[in-house]
Structure 1
């Protein structure tokens, strides 16, 4: 049986039940579960994998949030939700859903502070550089600075809160019925069916259902249909993101928006499959193609850079930087992994750099000369990048071969201010909630609308709301 199936019949039986059932044990689902439990609901989390991981564990774990006490602790006292909202809208060129953009920017700060106060999550603010599009230092992370560590801390919080997480439980069917309490006959989810790896089927009743099972990046057919520009690129997301929530949304008649929106990344070490932090570009690094030439403004954003990289011969580029940037990047665990895997190449001179990368020396020399001229103000960058704020590249040089990749989709079901899913007429479903990749995000319909951290932003902010209000419905 495939996911996406909706059944309007009465369930043949109910094997167990909970006030709030959450599908997905990532950052969105766990935040929602913690919040619903705190509100007094009996909560059950369903996870399709044997061990929760998903997109959260594969991410950098960085979450943008304005006006938090953690920012104030490092001297950032002038950030506001309104300023963050303006940054989000600027990045999407005004194409992101305005109600959701406002909702996310207003909610994420209180959500992070609640996770700290109620469940002991520690947050540090990355204040050594600004990610593209952010006007303030507002990127929060757990001290380990990885998505895997973030997920581990959330799982520990769920365990301490006595929230059961049922693994190897793929939801394959939703049971629905008209809401008897609603004169407009809105749809209510009455139960979910889960299928175990051995084929065993169980049916769980619920008073409210939260979809926190991410997007459809792992479904090649859906990617080809909705975002063909990246269909030929690597997928660097969780293979379980097969679009279950989207398929249910289609079957239920939900309001689906911005299905062409997604987060890409133009710096995935090839063939190692290790994320190389875009901070290298922001701190002065450059990208060149196989001809040793730059091809874009590297400060435009790492998401849209995926498309630019894939347009180069072979879909390959080289990140070029120096020891100062290399030493800086060593603070990121992913970069340490890349060093350990032998992905980072070192060269004592430009001639050596050309040799270790197999790039043509003279075009590469011309590129570095042009960059140096831009840095001292002798010429303007044809791609519009401002090189004047960072020091130039000097030997020894470092390089890593990279490709572009799809990380996760950004479109999904439209939700209201309580994270309830809306149908195509704008009417909320009685007890269906969504967050993270299952819901419409705040990046708009294009890859260029993704602002750094948007994925975990909507996972935690909308999960926080879904947990709060699902408990009230239940």
Structure 2
């Protein structure tokens, strides 16, 4: 791939369009649907042979407050409460105007995709996600990001929105403080130039660029990279060259419950419903109620960067609504037994220590780590899985206004440049602990929709 660059405009281009979108993940395709609805001529370019991105590796869940789907399920929620939850998790580090707008617009995005485009969303209603005051996670039937990506691509194809794959953007054309187009590389190492009236960067973050990860978030540098390898950070590499603001580059979403060595995401429901994590000594080591993003750092700090999630068949039954959990069972990552001693043997844990840890769980009370447990004990059959910590995606990036318009270092907004998803700064504060469940797809979907219709 050619060097990431910024170039002077050409006198002629290979292609011209009104709205050009870089990246066909959730953000890019939502932006495309939104711009198409405004009557725009839309072109999406995607580096991969088939659109997928980090979205396809996720559970595909989007938090939204006040949707028609929530109301039908009898859930009373509001954008104001949602915004408070977002800021509470991030300790108030987010731009308040951006949080308020995203929390307000999320319901509109979900209802629009459900009603105008037929995506069959439903609310995850049988367990709670850490930090959310209401049950507001919306997902498609398999609770997988791959299903979400396929559904969005199908809608783009049905509306004859052009998506050209195997085209990776490497240069911006820039003149008089504005972006006027891009250059892309092709599979046969040739280059194509595209002129556009406006550009939406939906090319995700920089988690696949180990140099940038080490520079901005060294504590996760050696964690498993669970995102899309195409996340090389073009957006922030361009920013300095065009005078765009970046912010919160130390923010990221980790996850401390990835089946190891299988590399399959295990839903955090196995913890929130009463499960716990132990290290190789069979002992708990932190307050698991803080959230799955912080769990990555906590797990990686343990011997060999490993831990073990311990729960029971009741909780496994809840987890089976997620396709990933069923895959983990199919490949033998999930172990089960009628006794803790046998489960410990299967997982390679000291049986006495695991038995003592289980017996010490303070049901209905708060323990020394600060976690308050429910009053439902774990019971046979017991279930466990070896896990490690991983980096899923970065949360810092280009600073935008509420419409997704990128801000210059002067404080003014670009007229022609927008960003969303991993290319833009989300609403997760400045580090891993500010990530509220679903924040990644939340900002991707909302900023994508807003940029498309701006």
1:427 is aligned, of 393, 412, 415, to: 412
The equivalences for 1:278-357 within 5 A come to 278-357=268-347
Question: Is this contact kept in 2: 1:91–1:449, CA < 8 A?
Answer: yes
Question: Is this contact kept in 2: 1:190–1:206, CA < 8 A?
Answer: yes
Question: Is this contact kept in 2: 1:96–1:444, CA < 8 A?
Answer: yes
1:60 maps to 59
Aligned-pair distance for 1:289?
0.1
Q: Does 1:384 align with 2:370?
A: yes
Aligned-pair distance for 1:390?
4.1
Secondary structure of 1:241's partner?
A: coil
Question: Is this contact kept in 2: 1:11–1:191, CA < 8 A?
Answer: no
Secondary structure of 1:451's partner?
A: coil
Secondary structure of 2:264's partner?
A: coil
1:4 maps to 4
1:238 maps to 228
Question: Is this contact kept in 2: 1:4–1:251, CA < 8 A?
Answer: no
Aligned-pair distance for 1:347?
2.0
Question: Is this contact kept in 2: 1:216–1:241, CA < 8 A?
Answer: yes
Q: Does 1:447 align with 2:432?
A: yes
Question: Is this contact kept in 2: 1:3–1:248, CA < 8 A?
Answer: no
Q: State the alpha-carbon separation in 1 of the partners of residues 94 and 364 from structure 2.
A: 37
Q: Does 1:168 align with 2:166?
A: yes
2:25 maps to 26
Question: Is this contact kept in 2: 1:318–1:400, CA < 8 A?
Answer: yes
Q: State the alpha-carbon separation in 2 of the partners of residues 358 and 206 from structure 1.
A: 58
Q: State the alpha-carbon separation in 2 of the partners of residues 61 and 3 from structure 1.
A: 32
Q: State the alpha-carbon separation in 2 of the partners of residues 214 and 354 from structure 1.
A: 40
Question: Is this contact kept in 2: 1:4–1:245, CA < 8 A?
Answer: no
1:198 is aligned, of 188, 194, 200, to: 188
Aligned-pair distance for 1:363?
1.6
Question: Is this contact kept in 1: 2:395–2:426, CA < 8 A?
Answer: yes
The equivalences for 1:4-153 within 5 A come to 4-7=4-7, 9-76=8-75, 78-153=76-151
Q: State the alpha-carbon separation in 1 of the partners of residues 392 and 321 from structure 2.
A: 22
Q: State the alpha-carbon separation in 1 of the partners of residues 342 and 308 from structure 2.
A: 15
Q: Does 1:438 align with 2:438?
A: no
What is the RMSD computed on CA atoms of the aligned residues?
Answer: 1.1
Question: Is this contact kept in 1: 2:23–2:202, CA < 8 A?
Answer: yes
Question: Is this contact kept in 2: 1:266–1:404, CA < 8 A?
Answer: yes
Greater than 4 Å deviation, 4+ residue runs: none
> Structure 2: which 5+ residue stretches go unaligned?
none
Q: State the alpha-carbon separation in 1 of the partners of residues 229 and 400 from structure 2.
A: 25
Aligned-pair distance for 1:3?
5.0
Question: Is this contact kept in 1: 2:174–2:242, CA < 8 A?
Answer: no
> Structure 1: which 5+ residue stretches go unaligned?
179-186, 470-474
2:363 maps to 375
Q: TM-score, normalised by structure 1?
A: 0.94
Question: Is this contact kept in 1: 2:6–2:241, CA < 8 A?
Answer: yes
Question: Is this contact kept in 2: 1:188–1:432, CA < 8 A?
Answer: yes
2:403 is aligned, of 396, 399, 418, to: 418
Secondary structure of 1:299's partner?
A: helix
Q: State the alpha-carbon separation in 2 of the partners of residues 321 and 122 from structure 1.
A: 30
